[in-house]
Chains A and B, each alone.
Chain A
C-alpha cells in the first residue's frame, strides 16, 4: 500500500538527472577553482626559481689561498693589516695606481677587502649549484667538483647581500654589484616623473574639467590616449630612438652645453622615452581620480565666486591628489620594470662608472638582469636572480605604498 507520489519512474529520472547536473556543476567548479590556483602556483614557482638561484654553492678557485695570507679570516683583519697585505703582495706600479685613484689609508674597510680579493686572491667561479640542486644530490656534486676542478673549493654564497647593493658592476660575477644599475634606474625614474607627472596630470585636468566632449578634437585626444595605452613598449623604444636619440641628439647628448664626448644614448633620452610610455596610463589613472571628486565640491567653490582654475587648484586637485599619486606610483612601477625600450634607445650593456648627470651613459636594473640572464654560465644566472630580487622588492614596496595611499583615500571619502 505504498502510495508514495515520488516513487514513480518519471520523478526518479528527474531526480537522477538533477543529481547528474549537480555532479557536472561540482566537477566544473573544481576545474574553475584549479585554474585560478594555477595562477597562484605559477607565481610560487617563479619566486621559488628566483630564490633558489640566488643562493648557491660555488666552486671557487683562488690564485692565492686565503688561509695562506693571514692567520685570521680576512674580514676580521684591521684596515692597517689589509694595507700591509696589499703592500706585501702587489707590485710597486700596481700599488701606485691604486694609491693615486684613492689613497689606500683613507679607503674604507670593505673597499680594502675588495682590493685584496680582486688583486691578490683573484677568485674564479668555475661552477655553481643552486640550493635545490645541492639538497637533492650534494654527494654527486662534491665528487664532480673534486674530479673536474681539483684546486677549487665549494663555498656557500648568498648572492644577494649588502655588498651586492653597493658594489659597482664588474666583469667578474663574484665581485659584481648592482649599484651602477640601481643608480641608473633611480636617475631614469626621476627624469620620467619630472617629465610625465606634470604633463599627465595637466592632460587629465584638461580632459576632465575643461574639454567639451562634443568637440571632435577632444574626442580624438581621448580615443588616442586610450589607444596609446595599448601600444607595445618596444614601439615607444623605436620612437625614442628616432626622436630623442637621433633627431634631438644635440639636446639629449648635452652638446648644447658643451658636453662633447657623448651621443644621444643618454639617461635623458631614455627618461623621456619612458615618460611617453607611461603617459597614457598616468593620464587614464589621473582622470579616474579627478572624476571621483564629488561635483558638489566644485559647485560650492563656484558659488563662493571662485574662478574655474581657483576651483581646480584649491579644491579638485587636493581632493584628487591621493588617487593621482596612487595612479602615478602604479605607472612608475611599470616604468621601473620596462626593459625593451631601454635596449632600443641604447642603454650601455657594460659600464662601471656611476651615472653623473642626465647626459651620461647609463645602465638600469632590468637591463642588467637581461644581460646576466642571457650569459650561458650558471654564475651569471645567480647574480641575475639576486638582481631580480632587488627589483621585485623595490616594486613590492612601491605597490605597498600605493595600496596604503588608496586605503587612506577611500576611507576619507567613505
Chain B
C-alpha cells in the first residue's frame, strides 16, 4: 500500500515537471549570444560600407577641388599635383604595364605547372613541388621588392645594357610580380583541373589519346572556366600589388610605354604620397582616396567575375 502511494506521488510530481521541462524555454542568454555572433558577422558588412563610404566621400571632395575635373582625370596624361595637373592615365598605364608583364610570366608558367602537377606528377613529386610553390606564395611582398631591385634589375641591366635599362623600371617589377602570382595561378588552375572527373580522362585514353592529348584536348577545355578564373584573380592581385612596384618600378609618374623606364603605378603613388605625415584635406590627401576608389572598383569587378566562373565549374562537376 505504502509503496503504491509513493509511486503514485512520484509519477504525479515528476510527470508535471517533465511536461514543464519539455516545453521550449526562453533562454535570453542563448539569444544574446546569437545576437553577438550576428554582430561579428555584420562587421564585415560595415567594413565594405566603410570602404565605399570613406573612399567615395573623399574622392567626391577631390573632384570638387578647383582645378580637378572628372573628364580630365580619366583622359589627360599628366599627373603633377604641384602644378594642378590631375590626369590619372600615367598611373593607370604603369599599372597596366606591370600587370601585363606579370601575367606574361605567371600565366604560361602557372598553367604549365598546374598541368604538370595535376596530370603528370607522381604523388611523391607533387608532395615535394606543391609545398615549394606554397612557400613562394607566403613570401612577403616587400621581400619580392628587394628581390626585384637586387636580382632582377641587375640581371636585366646585364642582358640589355646598363645604358638602356634604368635602375627603376616597370619590366623588373612586373616580372617579379609574375613570380609572386605564379603559385596563385597554378594552385587555382590545378584545383580546376583536378575537379575534372576521371571518367573524362579514361574515355580519352580509351579512344587512344596520349596523355598530352588528353590533358590539352579534354581536361583543359573542361576546366576552362576555372582556369580563366585563376587568371582573372591573378590580374586583380597584380593590379593591387603595392610593395614590389613601390620599391622597383620607380617613383614619379611618367607616361611611357618603355618597359626599361621607371613609371609610378596607382598603388606606388598612394604608398609614396602617404609615407610620412600627410596633411588632411589637401588635394594630395584626397587624391589617394580617388585612386584608391578606382583600384577598389577594378579589383572588385575582377574578383566577382572570377568567383562567378569558379561557381560555374563547381556547378558542372561537383
Chain A contacts to B: CB under 8 angstroms: 21-22, 24-25, 28-29, 31-33, 35-36, 38-40, 42-43, 45-46, 49-50, 53, 198-200, 202-203, 205-207, 210-211, 220-221, 224-228, 230-235, 237-239, 241-243, 246, 265, 276, 279-280, 283, 307-309, 333, 336-340, 343-344, 346, 349, 366, 369-370, 373-374, 381, 384-385, 388, 391-392, 395, 399
Q: Are A210 and B296 in contact (CB under 8 A)?
A: no
- A195's closest neighbor in chain B, by CB? B43
Q: How far is the CA of A393 from the CA of B133 in the complex (A)?
A: 17
Best-buried of B44, B147, B303 by chain A (most CB within 10 Å): B44
Residues of chain B contacted by A228 (CB below 8 angstroms): 44, 47-48
Q: Are A39 and B270 in contact (CB under 8 A)?
A: no
Interface string of B14-38 (1 = CB under 8 A from A): 0000000000000101100110111
Q: Which of B83-91, B194-202, B237-245 contacts A (4 or more CB under 8 A)?
A: B237-245
Q: With contacts A239-B51, A370-B142 known, is A344 near B133, CB below 8 A?
A: no
- B57's closest neighbor in chain A, by CB? A242
* In the assembled complex, B96 has its CB within 8 A of some CB on chain A: no
Q: Are A230 and B30 in contact (CB under 8 A)?
A: no
CB within 8 A of B138: which of A39, A220, A221, A395? A395
Q: Are B109 and A343 in contact (CB under 8 A)?
A: no
* Nearest 9 interchain pairs by C-beta: A232-B240, A337-B140, A202-B40, A35-B112, A25-B212, A32-B116, A206-B37, A230-B303, A340-B242
CB within 8 A of B271: which of A200, A234, A337? A234
Q: Are A239 and B37 in contact (CB under 8 A)?
A: no
Counting chain B residues whose Cβ lies within 8 A of the other chain, the interface size class is 35 or more
CB within 8 A of A39: which of B149, B186, B243, B271? B186
* In the assembled complex, B282 has its CB within 8 A of some CB on chain A: no
Residues of chain A contacted by B115 (CB below 8 angstroms): 32
Q: How far is the CB of A217 from chain B (nearest CB, A)?
A: 9
Q: With contacts A32-B115, A206-B38, A242-B54 known, is A24 near B212, CB below 8 A?
A: yes
Q: How far is the CB of A129 from chain B (nearest CB, A)?
A: 14
* In the assembled complex, B164 has its CB within 8 A of some CB on chain A: no
Q: How far is the CA of A340 from the CA of B141 in the complex (A)?
A: 9
Q: How far is the CB of B110 from chain A (nearest CB, A)?
A: 8
Q: How far is the CA of A242 from the CA of B141 in the complex (A)?
A: 24
Q: How far is the CA of A221 from the CA of B41 in the complex (A)?
A: 7
* In the assembled complex, B50 has its CB within 8 A of some CB on chain A: yes
Q: With contacts A349-B276, A366-B140 known, is A233 near B47, CB below 8 A?
A: no
Q: How far is the CA of A122 from the CA of B103 in the complex (A)?
A: 49
30 A-B interface contacts by CB (under 8 A): A32-B113, A33-B116, A35-B116, A36-B112, A36-B129, A39-B109, A42-B182, A50-B147, A206-B37, A230-B233, A230-B236, A230-B302, A230-B306, A232-B296, A232-B299, A235-B240, A235-B299, A238-B55, A238-B270, A242-B55, A279-B47, A309-B30, A337-B138, A337-B140, A343-B274, A346-B274, A346-B277, A373-B145, A392-B143, A395-B140
Please report whether the interface of chain B is mostly helix, strand, loop or mixed according to DSSP: helix
Q: How far is the CA of A49 from the CA of B48 in the complex (A)?
A: 39
Q: How far is the CA of A388 from the CA of B141 in the complex (A)?
A: 11
A-B interface pairs (CB < 8 A), number:
255
Q: Are B143 and A340 in contact (CB under 8 A)?
A: no
Q: Are A35 and B109 in contact (CB under 8 A)?
A: yes
Residues of chain B contacted by A399 (CB below 8 angstroms): 138
Q: Are A42 and B240 in contact (CB under 8 A)?
A: no
Interface string of B209-227 (1 = CB under 8 A from A): 0111100100000000000
- B45's closest neighbor in chain A, by CB? A224
Q: Are A388 and B289 in contact (CB under 8 A)?
A: no
Best-buried of A53, A207, A242, A399 by chain B (most CB within 10 Å): A242
Q: A227-B300, A337-B142, A381-B150 given. 6 additional CB < 8 A pairs?
A: A36-B133, A230-B300, A239-B50, A340-B246, A344-B274, A366-B142
Q: Are A32 and B112 in contact (CB under 8 A)?
A: yes
* In the assembled complex, B136 has its CB within 8 A of some CB on chain A: yes
* In the assembled complex, B67 has its CB within 8 A of some CB on chain A: no
* In the assembled complex, B275 has its CB within 8 A of some CB on chain A: yes
Q: With contacts A243-B50, A370-B247 known, is A211 near B41, CB below 8 A?
A: yes
Q: Are A21 and B267 in contact (CB under 8 A)?
A: no
CB within 8 A of B40: which of A29, A203, A231? A203
- B51's closest neighbor in chain A, by CB? A239
* In the assembled complex, B207 has its CB within 8 A of some CB on chain A: no
